[in-house]
Structure formats: structure tokens, C-alpha cells
Amino acid sequence: MRITFGPEDYEGVHLPHDDAIVLMLRVNGTRVGRILIDTGSSADVIYYETLKKLHLHDQPLKPMATPLTGFTGDQLMPMGIIDLPVTFGESPRDVVSKVSFIVVNTPSPYNIILGRKALNDIGAIASTPHLKVKFPTRNGVGTLRGEQQVARVCYQASIPKQVAQIDHVGELSKPYDQAEDIILHNPARPAGGPMEDTEEVDLGDGKITRMGTVLPKEDRDLVRACLLRNRDIFACEGEAMPGIDREIAEHQIATKQGMEPITQKKRKQSWEKRKAIKAKVEKLLKIDAIREVKYPQWLANPVLVTKSNGQWRMCIDYTDLNRACPKTPFPLPSIDAMVDSTAGFKYLSFMDAYSGYNQIRMSPADEEKTFFVTEEGLYCYKVMPFGLKNAGAEYQRMVSKVFKEELGEIMEAYIDDMVVKSCTGPDHVSHLDKVFAKMRQVGMRLNPKKSFFCLSSGKFLGFIISERGIEAHPDKCQAVVNLKSPKSIKEVQGLTGMIAALSRFISQSAMLCKPFFDVIKKKTQEFVWGPECQEAFEKIKDYLSIPPIISRPIKGEPLYLYISTNDDAISAALVREEDGVQKPVYFISRILRDAETRYPMVEKSAFAIVTAARKLRPYFQAHSIRVVTNMPLRKALGQFNVAGRLLKWAIELSEFDITYLSRTAYKSQALADFIVQGTSGSFTPVEAVWEVYVDGASSGKGTGLGVEIINPEGDRFKYALQVKFNPSHNVAEYEAFIAGLQLVAATGAKSIKVRSDSQLVVNQILKEYKTQDETLTKYLKKVEQLIGGFDSVTIEHVPRGQNETADALSKLAKSGLDKERPITVLEIPSPSIELSEPTVFQLHHEEEWYSPIWLYLAERILPQDKNLARKIKRWSLEFTIIEDELCKKGYHHPWLTCVGKAKAAELLRETHQGICGSHQGPRTLGKRIMRQGYYWPTLRKEAEDLVRRCAQCQFYARIEHKPPNKLKPITSPWPFDIWGMDILGPFPQAKGNLKFIVVAVEYFTKWIEVKALSLITSQKITDFLEHHIVYRYGIPHTIITDNGRQFTGAPFKNYCRGLGIEINFASVCHPQSNGLAEVSNRTILEGLKKKIEGTKNTWPEYLSEVVWAYNTTPRSATERSPYALVYGMEAVILMEIVHPTLRTISYSTQRNAERRIEEIEMIHELREEASARQAEYQRKMRKAFDKKVAPRHYQPGDWVLRKAAAGGKHIGKLDPAWDGPFEIVKSAGERAFHLKDAQGKTLSNSWNASDLRKYYP
């Protein structure tokens, strides 16, 4: 990022000058002035007096034994070192850096001295002539302007004093007498105001509002003009407002039946408060907001509270009235959703309605319920006052109604807090005009003093929002940072409340606060704030000194959920990924109570996901969630064959799109901290061995399986599996082995060690025993299939004494006990060898599609929704009930029987692949079912889906001959840059044992080089490349070949690598990838066939003739011969000798030399013409080819089938045309892909899209 200083940077600087750069920065969340920038200092210094004013003087300091030495040789022993966050600049061009300050106890007019270390850490450049410091940020160059007047005051104060130099200038020998003014604990900004500098905008008539100064001036000018155009929207102090149109909003007060009016007794007020009440009443009367009454029924007292500016705010104590009013059901918006929706925009305008509630009129019939009493008389409100129970909901209803088209798109509104958001300046002006027009239409007015426009960031609903995300309110963070250690339980409760307000930003908040909760629980005992509490307190302070920036999720993108558990708490971090970096969206944490602390580790992790889903339900509903964990949760929550709590949670989570990923690396420091802080034991992402102990127990009382899994960190996961069928003892042992493999596979483990006490099972798997039983053979195949999914598997037989835990778990599962225990209980409903897909249990009855029609025809019952009822009435005309069966009128059949979901699936399956089925297509399948007399409304769609997913139909599907992608011809930029190489043969063995031809064709000129070979080893091909191409035409850039061993061998690849030649391998079984070489081969082969007259083994004698004929013949693409494009002229061929032409008859050596020079000089033009013709030829070819394209799009993660012939198999008449399935690992260009099989083994070479077909499991 370029940083420059120009003449414009002198603006505001009084010249000439020799002043130092003195700044004001935010240190540890507090604004600190009189900070000297000293580029000659090697240390960053903070004075002890400054630490005192920051309330940090009692913080522990890191020891420092080395004295500070000045350029005069004077030495000063520092007190120690303290690390503090320093914020350079204002949002959005700001940088936060942690600076290690050396603390010295000596007087100075400065608070802090920043030396080279702090400046270099942020890449800052200081210019003393301009009194500025500039530094790079994520949003451009940040700028800090020195305070010239302050610099001169500090310098003057230091002149008459004796100066002790510590590698800088400016330290006093005794305290500076104005030190009290150097720190601003609370920056001078209005409460609720912006977080950046603003300037006034005079709207006329005394109305002044403010706008930001950070965004570009041209955009600010547009917004300023917009505000002036709409100045009538802003209210003047003390003027009557038009009020919101009664048709839009009018507040009514409903009271509960039987509630009698309550008259409060008049309360005594101090003289000061009476005076404030009188002034407020006079103001309300002037603007016609209240009226005087004589005979009240409900009567309340005014209450005065102090505003942030020290003035009084008058409210009415409507406690009794509110108690009599039912709460309106109109909901307030979700604050989290609203803040998320607002963040991420560059231009923000914050608007505040002028006395917002007072702009809504009261219903005339309910005005007298708002009576209040003062010294001057009795009054009631004509407008909606503050303090009414449903006032907020009423105002939100009005806002939602007025701005229904704008909310969520260009603005957000929470009651009377409104913000307009835009990405560009012109859009922001347009959005403001649209919002102002709506306000004018309904009579809404804004408060100019509390509205701020054209800001880059600001406070909204207790958060700081900006283009870069959501930040915690600095005042809330600073309140915790400045807090002293609690001295009572009440203060601890206050601390936990403050932390709860910031919990979205605090990783592991419950875990960190656990010591505080323990103190609160001991209410009856003496208050003790121990070392554990203080350590947690300091961690939270340190965390909040630089809280993370929360990112705003984008619609449709997946979110990642990291979970963490320990003995006392669970936590979760919801994150999103942007440009490869994961950014936090929300942190949640919860203390475990009572029995929850005894959950096994797997159930705690599952409980963390359930807790996150309940707390963050809107995020889970709007996004697909990817849970990143090293726990085996895919098995525990991904199926319904579990018991107890896990089954309940699995059902609860089934409505969300949740997938489970193995935890590997973390892409942000916030996540790394989250995992390290919360996980019991240390987590190491290095691949290690997981241990699995299995055992099966079968008897007349039942069958149970036991599995114990130990991860590399030593955590133990115990599973008791209840078997719902009656297997033999050996089958039970196999079931336990399979269950163990499936459970550990769900964790993402790649290296495992499985131990079993069944000698038969272990030896059969290790091939030591032969398997003769048919059932056990099937189980063995199942085990081998599962083992193929791991990188490393070790199987051991152990004595029963070394397998005690798994043995006990199997017996526990067999006994069917259901007592509370720290293990996970699962169910095995049927044998593993019979399951081709996960078993699905019908947990509740689903209403069939025909239920509403049946209810209407049988009992005349219609839905309450009028539109739906009208639809049912019309639709039911086509149906009737015949012998308790609902039937529909048909065209090919008098009456069609209506069937439900389960029977429909059975009919489709049986008709398609049953005894009478022959795997017909979806159209024929649907017609056949309807002709048999059955109907349901989704018949065609379900038939298509069944046929699409049918394995037999997919493996025996016809080969698609239409190309899947558009043609992309290979174009060479200049001659001899790209060559295609291929092998032709074998031919009949000729003299010298010659059997093969190596062919090389150049893609620009179409020139061919060939050589007959006896062997086609990699070394032979390398020699051909060296002598026939490199030595003759230079080193090419690219060579295109097939995947033959002679091209993939080490000699050829090493030679190309040494010369910097790039090798592009064509896709397997897709010769079009090297099309020119294939065409050249065909031409050579056809030429040889026609040339050879005698024995076939004379073919090498004719090879040169065929190649010569090819190189001297004009090609269709270029309309020039390869010879002409290489040498600049057409070759003299035998025909010109037999039948002389003009150039052979009038041959002159001198003239020929001159002509050759001309031709060589013109060769570039000749080649450009050929290149243009070739481009046009390719365009026509591409146009014709692309008409036949049937697009087939694939991406990594898709499952596909591959042509069986492409895999080298011999395909018989009854063999499947496709094999697989395979998973796409990655793309190798636009039309080729790398694949891996179902066992995870990656296939060599790439495969073209034309040889693949989408597979639907």
C-alpha cells in the first residue's frame, strides 16, 4: 500500500515550525492525550502517573532488569513492562496493536512516548514537517494528525526544567502541574452518538444536524444536499408536530375485564423537581400534546429521571394502569437478526424520531386513562406517552406498516431507533430520499440533534456496526476492564450481568465465569474472592481489551459450528468462512447443571449442538450447518437407532440441514483460542491412532454389544448397543466389530487399532481361519468393506481380562437396564449384512395428501383457511368414496384408487423392478400404474426420482454420445510453441525390428515429425524429442501426450522438467484432448495403407513419402501448407521437375536469393493470415460442434459412473455399460476430473466429462 505526503497534508499546520508530533490515541479503551512520537527512541515508554489515571497501577508488571540509558549516559531503572492495546486512528481506518510499554516513575509533560518499535509494528510513517503519522489498514491509509498547540505547551513546560534524557526528549525533574488534564476517561461525544468525527449541517430555522467526515467528500456533499432538500422532515425545538396519520397508527388502551380504575395519591416533590415538571407541562400544552381534565378515573404521578446531559426527563408512573392492560401479541424484531442485517454496509445514517412516542395520537376514547397529577392541575395525554405497557409494540407496528417495503432492504428500525444502510454514496442518497418521502407522507418528524448521517460506523441497539462487522460497545467493554475486583456477592452478580451482555463476543464465557458462579452459590458462607476468581477476572479483562469483530453471515452460505466441552460447561462458536479465513458469528456458552455434568463426553458434545440450535435457531433455519468436531457425533445424531436423550436430540435436530466434519486446522486465532480454552486435555491435529475395544454377548436373555473408543488425547467414549434380533454368539461378535468400525469412522479417524476377545472373529478377519459359514462370510465381507475406509488398521486378539470395559458394556446392554450412567446407548434393529441403507423408523403418523378431501366428502369438514377450503371444494368434485376407498375420476380407467405415501412407494418399486417389472422409464412407469387403476398427485415426479436413483438403470443406461461440454480448440500463439505427440502401431515387423512410429505434430503450422522405432521406451521417446524437435526447432513451451508409460516415465519427464517444458496429459479414453495428433495419425495410417503395394513389412520405406506429402499439402484450417508456414515459401516438389513451372524455368541464383530474403521478411504476415484463417475455421467448427452439446455439469464431491469401456474392461452383450460409483476429488481443467472409488482410493490420471455420468445414490 503506497503512503505519500503532499502539499495538502500541510492544511491546518502553522508554518514555519519545529514542533514535535503529539497525538491523542485510545489506550486500553481510554482516550489518552499528550502522546509523543519519538522516532529516535528504541523503547515505548508509559509513565507511572499515567498508569494511575488509567487505574492500572495495581496491575502486575513483567520484570525488567536492564536500565534505560539516554544519549547523555544517564540511566533510569524501569519499574517493569506492561502490555496494553493501543488503537491507532478511527474506524474504519484504524489498527489495534498490543504495545509492550516500559513503565518509568519520573515526571514528564507527556503521558506516553511511542518509539520505533510501536510504529514499525503497524508499518507507520511519521512526517514532522506535516505533523502527521500515516499507516496502512484494511480499508486504506489511516492518518493521525498531531496536536500542534499541545506540543508547544509541553515543550514550553519542559524548557526551564532539568531534563533527564532517556533516549528521547521531554522528561521533567518534578511533576507537571497540569497533569490532571491529560487523560480523558470518557471521550467528549454525545450519548448514543457516532464513533467518528462529525460536522454540523445547518438546515435553517435553527435546525442543526450532524454528518460524518470519514467517507469521501463527494458523497458527503450529495448527502448534505439531500438533507437540505428534506429539511421539513426535521422538527424544531418546541414546535407542534403534525403527528402520525390516525389511519396509520392510533393507540388504544384495553383493560382486563373486571379491573377497576385506580387513583394514585399525589406524591410530594422537591422544589427543583416541581419546577422541572411545570416547565415540561407548559411545553406539552404549547405543542398540544396534553389537555387539562377535571374528573379523572385513572390517576398517576409524574416521575423525574436524570438524562445523560444532566437535565430532567419527565415520565408518568403508569404501574397500576399497565397491570390492568393485557400485553399486545405484536412481536418486537430480533435484535441479533437486525444487527446482522445492518452490519457490512459502508454508508450508514442513524435517525431518531422527535419525541417518537408522542407522534402517535391517542384514541379519543382512551385519552382519559392517561391522567396524571401535578401542582398546576390534572392532565391527560392526547398523544401516546412514554411508560405505557404496549407503547413500544404500538410504535413498532407503526414503523413496520409505514416502512414495510424498506425494512430489511435499505433500512432497519427497532421502535424509534432507525438506520438507513447502503453500499455506495449515490445509493445512500436514493435510500434517504425514499425513507424521507415515506416519513413526509405519514407525518413523521426527526430529531436533528440525535440524528447522524453518512457515517461509516455507529452505535445501534448496543452494538457498534460498520462495514467490517459487529463490534462490542466499547463503553461496555471498558466498564468491565476498569472494574475493580468485587468485594461482595452483589458485586459479583453485577459482574456476571455485565459479562452476560457481552456474551456474544466472549469465547467460553460460561467456562471463564465458572469461579464467579461458585462464589454466588455460597451465599450463606463468608465471601471469598480467591486466586481462581482473580485469574478468571484478569482473563476476561484481557479478552475484552481487544474483543473480536463479529462477522455478518451472508444469505445461503454454510456456517461452521465448533463445539467445546469440559466437566462444568459447554460452549459453541458459530463461524463463517470468507476468503479461506473463518470469522466468528456468535459465541454461546452454558454452565452444566446437576445430572448434565454426568453426561458422557459424546452426549455433552451433542448437548452443545442442541443448545446452539435452540439459542441460534434463526441461523440454523437459514443456513446449512457444518459441525466441526473430533467426537463421533455423526453416528450418535445422524440416525434414529439410538436411545434416551440422544434419540430425543436427534429428532429435534432432524429439521435442520446439519452435516458433521472432522476437525483439522483452525483458520482464525479466535477459533484456536476457543478450542484450546475449552477442551479438556490438549487437542493435537496431528493424525494419531484411535483404539477400539469391542465385545458381543448373546444368550437366551438377549443380546448386547459393547464398544469403547479411546481417542489420541486419551478421552474414552463408551457405547452399549441393544440388539433387537436374536443372533448367534459369533454373529454378535461380528456385529460388535462392525459397530466399533462404524462408530470410529464417524469421528474421521484414519488410523485405528481394534481389539477383540473373540479368537474366531479376529483370525477370520486376519485370514488365519477359513470362513465356511455363509452368514459369517457375509459379515466378513462387510468388515473388509469398512476396513477399506481407513488408512491404517491393526487388529489384535486380547484376553477377556484386557477387554473388561467392552465386556461389561455388552452385558449392560443385554440386561436392558436403563439407569443413569455415563455411557451412550444405541440400538441395532436388524443384522448389518441385510442393511443396504440406514434403517428409517416412522416416529409419527404423517397426514396423507388426500386427508382433507376425505374429511370433506365423508364429514363435510373444511380447513379454517378460506382459500384452502375453496381449493378443497373444487378439487373434491373429481373424487368420490367407494366402499371406504377414495377414488378419482380417470380417462383411461373409470375410477382410480387413491393411495398414500407408503403404498405409492411400494407400487412404484414393484412395478419398476418387481416380478412384472423390466426397469421401464419414468413416463412408461407412470402410465402403467395409472392404467392399473392407482393415483396420487406426485406420481410423475416420484417415478422420475425412482428411475433416476435405480442402481440397475444407472449401471445399464445407454451411452450418451452427445458431448457434455462446448468445444475448446487448442490454439498455439506462435510456431513450435505447442507440440502434440503420440504412438502409432504396432505395425508388421519390418527390417531392423521396426514396429512403431512416434509422431509429433506442431499445433500452429501443422508440421509433422516422425520416426520408426523398434521399441517405444521412455528413453527412446526422449531421444526423439531431443534430436527431432529441440535441436531442429528449439525448446517448446508445451507438449500434449496421452497417458502411455513412455510419456509418464522418468526419463521423458525429467528431460522436459530440465528444459522447462510443460507436459499436458490428455484424459483417459478421450483422444479429442490431443485431437491434432490423432488426426495426423489417421492421415499417416491412411497414406501408408494406400502406398504399400507388396508385403506389409515394407511400410518404413514409404513413411518419409507420406510425411513429405502431408507437410507440403495446404491444410483446411490455414489454407497454407505446413512447409510454407515453416520456411515462408512452398516447397519444390517432384511435379515441378516433371512439368516445370515459371520459378523452375527462369531460375536465377541471385534472383532466388533476393526472393528468399523477401519471403523471409514477409513470413510474419503470412503466419498472421494463417492464424486469422485458423481462428475463423475453429469458430465455425466450434459453432457446429456446440449445437450437439448436451450439458453435464460436475463439481468436486459429486458421485459419478464411468464408462466401463474407459476402464479397460471387455464389455459383453449383457455386461453393464458403466462402472463405479466414483467421487469427484477435484477438476483438472474445465472438462476433466480426478476420481476416487468408494473405498477412498484415488484413481490415476484424469477422466473426461464425456466418459462420466451423474450417479444418484
CATH number of the domain that residue 263 is part of: 3.10.10.10
Residue 194 is assigned to a structural domain of this protein:
no
Q: What pLDDT score does 846 carry?
A: 54
Amino acid at 570: I
- Average pLDDT estimate for 515-529: 77
Q: What pLDDT score does 101 carry?
A: 92
- pLDDT confidence tier of residue 1233, bands split at 50, 70 and 90: confident
Residue 965 is assigned to a structural domain of this protein:
no
Q: What pLDDT score does 700 carry?
A: 62
Q: Are residues 520 and 444 in the same domain?
A: no
Q: Are residues 320 and 461 in the same domain?
A: yes
Q: What pLDDT score does 915 carry?
A: 67
* Residues 845-856 pLDDT 10s: 457 888 888 888
In sequence order, the 6+-apart residues with CB closer than 8 A to the CB of 224 are: 201, 211
> Taking a C-beta distance cutoff of 8 angstroms, is the pair 799, 757 a contact?
yes
In sequence order, the 6+-apart residues with CB closer than 8 A to the CB of 886 are: 850, 853, 854, 857, 879, 880, 897, 898
> Which residue, of 414, 446, 467, is where some domain finishes?
467
Q: Chain-centre distance of CA 1086, in angstroms? A: 58
Closest CA to 733 of 780, 786, 771, 691: 780
From residue 1103, alpha-carbon distances to 273, 712, 997, 1032, 1106 in Å are: 114, 66, 9, 19, 5
- pLDDT confidence tier of residue 1073, bands split at 50, 70 and 90: low
Which cell numbers hold the place of 1236?
Answer: 476416487
Q: Can you state the angle between helices 489-501 and 509-521, rounded to 10 degrees?
A: 160
Q: What pLDDT score does 132 carry?
A: 92
- pLDDT confidence tier of residue 544, bands split at 50, 70 and 90: confident
pTM: 0.47
Q: Are residues 766 and 867 in the same domain?
A: no
* Residues 769-799 pLDDT 10s: 888 788 888 888 899 888 888 888 889 888 8
- pLDDT confidence tier of residue 349, bands split at 50, 70 and 90: very high
Residue 1237 is assigned to a structural domain of this protein:
no
Q: Are residues 457 and 487 in the same domain?
A: no
Rg (CA), the chain: 42
**pLDDT score of 217 more than 90:** no
**pLDDT score of 438 more than 80:** yes
Instruction: State the average pLDDT for the chain.
Output: 80
Considering the chain, what percentage of its residues have pLDDT values greater than 90? 9
- Average pLDDT estimate for 193-216: 81
| Beta strand ranges found along 368-407 (DSSP E) | 372-373, 378-381
Q: DSSP H helical segments within 100-238, as ranges?
A: 116-121, 148-158, 217-229
Distance CA 1163, CA 1117 (A): 18
Instruction: Give the containing element (helix H, strand E) for 722.
Output: strand 716-723
| Beta strand ranges found along 510-604 (DSSP E) | 559-565, 569-578, 581-591
> Which residue, of 184, 213, 228, is where some domain finishes?
184
Residue 793's CB is within 10 A of a number of other CB atoms, namely: 18
Burial of 1225 (0-12, 13-18, 19+ CB in 10 A): middle
Q: What pLDDT score does 523 carry?
A: 61
Residue 792 sits at φ, ψ, to 5 deg, of: -145, 130
* Angle, vertex CA 1153, rays to CA 1147 and CA 1154, nearest 5: 105
Q: Are residues 576 and 631 in the same domain?
A: yes
- pLDDT confidence tier of residue 1022, bands split at 50, 70 and 90: very high
Q: Can you state the angle between helices 729-745 and 774-787, rounded to 10 degrees?
A: 10
**Which of 520-524, 1012-1016, 1213-1217 is predicted most confidently?**
1012-1016
**pLDDT score of 40 more than 70:** yes
**pLDDT score of 261 more than 50:** yes
Residue 916 is assigned to a structural domain of this protein:
no
> Taking a C-beta distance cutoff of 8 angstroms, is the pair 540, 499 a contact?
yes
Residue 1150 is assigned to a structural domain of this protein:
yes
| Beta strand ranges found along 781-933 (DSSP E) | 792-797, 824-828, 879-882, 885-889, 895-898
> Taking a C-beta distance cutoff of 8 angstroms, is the pair 298, 366 a contact?
no
From residue 468, alpha-carbon distances to 123, 165, 553, 618, 951 in Å are: 21, 43, 12, 22, 49
Distance CA 512, CA 506 (A): 9
**pLDDT score of 66 more than 50:** yes
> Taking a C-beta distance cutoff of 8 angstroms, is the pair 515, 530 a contact?
yes
Q: Are residues 130 and 211 in the same domain?
A: no
Q: Are residues 218 and 249 in the same domain?
A: yes
- Average pLDDT estimate for 378-407: 89
- Average pLDDT estimate for 355-370: 88
Q: What pLDDT score does 168 carry?
A: 36
Amino acid at 557: E
Give me the domain span that covers residue 865: 848-898
> Taking a C-beta distance cutoff of 8 angstroms, is the pair 104, 51 a contact?
no
Q: What pLDDT score does 818 carry?
A: 46
> Taking a C-beta distance cutoff of 8 angstroms, is the pair 431, 345 a contact?
no
- Average pLDDT estimate for 589-595: 83
Helix (H, G, I), strand (E, B) or coil at 1144: helix
Q: What pLDDT score does 997 carry?
A: 92
**Which of 278-292, 909-923, 1152-1166 is predicted most confidently?**
278-292
**Which of 740-744, 1068-1072, 1232-1236 is predicted most confidently?**
740-744
Per the structure, the count of domains in the chain is 7
- pLDDT confidence tier of residue 874, bands split at 50, 70 and 90: confident
Q: What pLDDT score does 966 carry?
A: 65
Q: Are residues 1026 and 1061 in the same domain?
A: yes
Considering the chain, what percentage of its residues have pLDDT values greater than 70? 86
Residue 274 is assigned to a structural domain of this protein:
yes
* Residues 129-173 pLDDT 10s: 889 999 998 778 889 988 887 888 887 776 644 333 333 333 322
Q: Are residues 451 and 413 in the same domain?
A: yes
What DSSP letter does each residue of 908-966 carry, written as one string? HHHHHHSTT-----HHHHHHHHHHTTEE-TTHHHHHHHHHHH-HHHHHTPPPP-S-SS-
Q: Which residue has the higher pLDDT, 315 or 15?
A: 315
Instruction: Give the containing element (helix H, strand E) for 133.
Output: strand 132-137
Residue 1142 sits at φ, ψ, to 5 deg, of: -60, -40
The pairing of beta strand 45-47 with beta strand 792-797? unpaired
**pLDDT score of 1078 more than 60:** yes
From residue 558, alpha-carbon distances to 438, 618, 659 in Å are: 36, 13, 10
* Residues 1234-1250 pLDDT 10s: 888 877 788 877 777 77
Q: Bridge partners of 353?
A: 446
Q: What pLDDT score does 693 carry?
A: 92
Burial of 65 (0-12, 13-18, 19+ CB in 10 A): exposed
Lowest mean pLDDT of 362-371, 733-742, 1102-1111, 1205-1214, name the range.
1205-1214
The CATH number that applies at residue 700 is 3.30.420.10
Q: Are residues 350 and 480 in the same domain?
A: no
Distance CA 618, CA 614 (A): 9
The CATH number that applies at residue 532 is 3.10.20.370
Distance CA 632, CA 1183 (A): 53
3 state SS for 334-366: CHHHHHHHHCCCCEEEEEEECCHHHHCEECHHH
Residue 914 is assigned to a structural domain of this protein:
no
Q: Chain-centre distance of CA 417, in angstroms? A: 29
* Residues 647-656 pLDDT 10s: 778 777 888 8
Which cell numbers hold the place of 270?
Answer: 422537591
Distance CA 623, CA 558 (A): 6
**pLDDT score of 192 more than 70:** no
Q: Are residues 1102 and 1124 in the same domain?
A: no
* Residues 699-725 pLDDT 10s: 666 788 888 888 877 778 888 888 878
How many residues does the structure list for the chain?
1257
- pLDDT confidence tier of residue 1209, bands split at 50, 70 and 90: low
3 state SS for 435-475: HHHHHHHHCCCECHHHCEEEECEEEECCEEEECCEEEECHH
Q: What pLDDT score does 54 carry?
A: 82
Q: What pLDDT score does 678 carry?
A: 42
- pLDDT confidence tier of residue 185, bands split at 50, 70 and 90: very low
Cis peptide before 16 (omega within 30 of 0): yes
Residue 109's CB is within 10 A of a number of other CB atoms, namely: 26
Distance CA 32, CA 87 (A): 11
Residue 869 is assigned to a structural domain of this protein:
yes
Distance CA 728, CA 697 (A): 9
Lowest mean pLDDT of 287-301, 524-538, 1110-1124, 1208-1222, name the range.
1208-1222
- Average pLDDT estimate for 182-203: 58
- Average pLDDT estimate for 599-617: 86
> Which residue, of 157, 184, 211, is where some domain finishes?
184
Lowest mean pLDDT of 296-300, 307-311, 918-922, 1100-1104, name the range.
307-311
Lowest mean pLDDT of 97-101, 1000-1004, 1231-1235, name the range.
1231-1235
Using the structure block, give the residue that is written with the C-alpha cell 510513517. 125
Distance CA 250, CA 394 (A): 8
> Taking a C-beta distance cutoff of 8 angstroms, is the pair 1105, 1111 a contact?
no
* Residues 1184-1198 pLDDT 10s: 766 666 677 777 888
Q: Are residues 463 and 476 in the same domain?
A: no
**pLDDT score of 206 more than 60:** yes
